[in-house]
Amino acid sequence: MVCQLMGSGFCTEKFSYNLPSVINPSARYVFFLHGKIVEKRGPNGRHRCFGIYDYHGIVKSFRNQGFVVISEVRPQGTKLSKYAGKIERQIKTLLSYGLPPEQITVVGFSKGSAIALLVSTRLKDLGINFVLMSGCTHNGTHVLDRYRKIVDQSVHSMNGRFLHIYDVSDQKCDVCRKILKNVSSEVKFEEMKLKNGLGHGLFYRPRKDWIEPVTEWIIQEH
C-alpha cells in the first residue's frame, strides 16, 4: 500500500488486485475499470452530486459473485490508450494459459468504459465480454467527442460481446447504439436501461440494482 500525493494536495492510497500468479482455467475473470473520480480523489472519492465512491465495495461484490477480480486504482491523468495496452497484455496472458475467452469480462464505468472500448479494438476474439456502465455520454459534452474519436478510428476493429447498462436519468449518458452503429455485424451488443433515479451515481456503490443483472449477463450462455 503506497501513499501518492494527488494534484489537489491530499494523499491517497494505491491499491491493486493483481493478476493471480496461478491461473485457474475454470474460473471467471473480471477486469474492473473504475471511473475518473477515483483517479482524482482516491478509492473513496466524494462527488458533490453522487456522494462517496465505494471502489473496494464494488470489487468485493464481484468477488462475492465468484469472479476473480483484477483491478487497481489508476494514477491521476491515466492515458486511455496506454492503459488499454496494459489490460490487453493481461488478457493475452490469461488466454495463453488456455482460458476460454467467454470466461473473461472487462467491466468499465465512465472513463473505465472508454478504456474497455479501446481494449476491444486490440483483441481479435469475439468471445470476450465487455460491460460498459454509463459508458456513452450525452450529446453536447466534450466526452462524447472523445468517444466518437475512439469509435471513428477503431469501429471496424472492435470485437467481443457488449452490454451497455445505464440509468435513464443519467444526464451524462446516451444510447451507445447511436455511436456504435457501424461495428461489425459479428459483434453482439445489448443495452439495459435501469430506472433507479440515481443517474451516474448509481454505479458509485455496489447496488444489487446493477450488480445482479451484470452478473447474470456475464455468466449466461453465449
Q: Is residue 125 a part of any domain in this protein?
A: yes
pLDDT above 80: residue 146? no
Q: Is residue 198 a part of any domain in this protein?
A: yes
Mean pLDDT computed over 24-39: 94
Number of domains in the chain: 1
Query: What's the pLDDT at 176?
Result: 64
Query: What's the pLDDT at 159?
Result: 87
Number of H helices, E strands in the chain: 7, 11
Compute how many other C-beta atoms are within 10 angstroms of the C-beta atom of residue 16: 12
Query: What's the pLDDT at 173?
Result: 55
pLDDT above 70: residue 211? yes
pLDDT above 70: residue 9? no
Q: Is residue 86 a part of any domain in this protein?
A: yes
Amino acid at 193: K
Q: Per residue in 147-173, pLDDT tens?
A: 666 666 666 678 899 998 988 877 555
> Could you tell me the residue range of the domain that residue 72 belongs to?
24-219
Q: Which of 208, 135, 204 is nearest to 176 (CA)?
A: 135
Query: What's the pLDDT at 151?
Result: 61
Q: Is residue 7 a part of any domain in this protein?
A: no
pTM: 0.86
Query: What's the pLDDT at 61?
Result: 97
Whole-angstrom distance, CA of residue 90 vs CA of residue 84: 10
Q: Is residue 18 a part of any domain in this protein?
A: no
CATH number at residue 85: 3.40.50.1820
Q: Are 90 and 31 in contact (CB under 8 A)?
A: yes
